[in-house]
Amino acid sequence: MSRSASARTPWLPRLVVAPSFLLSFLFIYGLMAWNGVLSFSASRLLPNYEWVGLEQYQTLFDNERWWVALTNLGIFGLLFIGGAMVVGLLLAILLDQKIRVEGALRTIYLYPMALSFIVTGTAWKWMLNPGLGLEHLMHQWGFENFEFGWLVDPDKAIYCVAIAGVWQSAGFVMALFLAGLRGIDDSIIKAAQVDGASLPLIYWRIIIPTLRPVFFSTLMVVSHLAIKSFDLVMALTAGGPGYATDLPATFMYTMAFSRGQIGLGAASATVMLATVAAIVVPYLYSELRSKN
């Protein structure tokens, strides 16, 4: 190879990747910027670039449905994040005992993560439907007084969404914690056992505290999933009964594409983006700082 050809070679991969990089930058960050512009405009059925300042945000935070969505996000977020992390950690500790059927159990626990939230929502909608699922099955078995109508109860439907979400994500959390557990030196456990510490005490006092980086990373990922939750709610409850299970993501979709209030939907999307950034940016900063 000539010297001129070798000099051009390092630029070839960049030239090949450049078009896809530019398109990704345009369709991701460009559309994010456009959404921000629309949130300060008078857009309704179609984009309208008449500047109205913070009017859309004021309308947003005066909207009762938006506050219901925020409240639901708080309930769903606490139950989803807490439930997924607790169940995932317990499953990881179980598999860390190196039981014989570990491979089969790991596959079973990870299987829900292979499904989309649409499939999960649809399956749990059938199971929790009073006329088709668990309640109907118990009645057929002779338990006529059994009732489980949470899915059609405006005060309890959000808990059904949380149950389905934990079922979906607990296996993924388990895999993260299991990887962290397998990275701990066995000599630490053996030394603690020699000193007379019981296995539960070893996990509580020694092993789990060493998993702080895994806890932090898992918390960031699961929190991100909670804020963006859309398809699970749409498949399971479609935001109902009424708008009792609305989340910010479903609120944004309804306002922008069903109610013809593009500016209001864009404002809610911008608030969601700011919330995600408030979670992701500190995480990225800490990761980059630790590497430096």
pLDDT tens-digit map of 219-235: 888 988 888 888 999 99
Q: Kindly calculate the radius of gyration of the chain based on its CA atoms and give it in whole angstroms.
A: 24
Domains present along the chain, CATH in parentheses:
55-291 (1.10.3720.10)
More confident residue, 187 or 60: 60
Q: Report pLDDT for 3.
A: 52
Tell me the average pLDDT across 171-184. 89
The string of pLDDT tens digits covering residues 77-96 is: 999 999 999 999 999 988 88
Q: Report pLDDT for 195.
A: 79
**CB burial string 240-263: b at 16+ within 10 A, e below:** eeebbbbbbbbbbbbbbeeeebbb
Long-range contacts of 278-287 (CB under 8 A, 24+ apart): 279/220, 279/223, 279/224, 279/227, 280/220, 280/224, 283/216, 283/217, 283/220, 286/216
Where would I find the H helices in the chain?
3-8, 11-25, 31-39, 55-61, 64-95, 102-114, 117-128, 134-140, 157-182, 186-194, 199-202, 208-210, 212-228, 231-236, 248-253, 262-291
pLDDT at 165 over 90: yes
How much is the mean pLDDT over the chain?
A: 86
Where does residue 219 rank: exposed (0-12), middle (13-18), buried (19+ CB within 10 A)? middle
pTM, entire model:
0.84
Tell me the average pLDDT across 19-46. 88
